[in-house]
Structure 1
Amino acid sequence: MTKCCWLVKESGAKMDLNSKKSGFRFSNPELVHLEYETNQSFCEESEIQLRINLSTDVKPYEGKSKAEVILTITLGGKTEKDPFYLEASEQATFDWSGSQFSDEALESLLSKNAPSLLLSYLRPIVASSTNWSRYGSYNIPFIDFTKAVKESD
């Protein structure tokens, strides 16, 4: 295996990217669920107020420095007040180097950083899926997972 060292010029100084690698890594995220349905009963004269719900499921691997994280987003609903219903789930396996992180740091990485990263993979899927509807593309807004996790505690 060849070790690659990228040198990036930053403000006149060289930066070794290998020394900046995180001990917290993830596998290639994959879309594990996608459901989209246009609501034929939606009253088009109504103002569209799309509900957005996010849920995160963290499944640690017993005895390993590894966990599966699944982020699920639900947009709209199946009532006449909703133009469509969309549900999508993105999953990735996260791993870390042994005792490099405290339990508190791992909790934060898995409950905030991991879902934030997975949301960046769901954004284009949601935008593309809704783009072909009569309501146009829906772009997921920025979500502060730090604040969202504090509110759910």
Structure 2
Amino acid sequence: MKIISTLILILAISPVYAEIYKCEENGIISYQQFPCKEGGTEFIPPKDISPEQQKAAIEKLDREIAIQAEQKQQQQEADDKERLIRAQEEKADAAAQNARANTAQVLQNARQTEQIRNQNQRPYFPIAPVNPPDNFPIAPTDPIIPEPLPANN
């Protein structure tokens, strides 16, 4: 089975040589495998290019690939820089927003503190110590013991 599939693959890959005709009808050029109805010529495709032409084509292709790779690298670097700048701008915006929020909180705290001070502020009237006059009776320091009540018989 492997031999048959290999042979079919080789036959399918092998180049097909067929005659090609170049026909021109009403100013339209077409290529076909059958001879033209009116006029036309057999078209013979050009042969392979020379080894020098192949080398030149390879060098040209390599240069173009290198240029594209360099452009891609430059574009990637530019995109990275742009992403970094955007991230820094977003960070700065967030910091500014936090600063505004902190400022608003500080102002709110200051207003509340002022309100509490105003509510708790009582007029202060210092009271001078009063010394009793010399003839002022002073209460005895001994406890007063009540006398017993008379008993009723």
Q: TM-score, normalised by structure 1?
A: 0.20
Q: TM-score, normalised by structure 2?
A: 0.20
Which has the higher relative contact order, 1 or 2, with Cα contacts under 8 A spaced 6 or more apart? 1
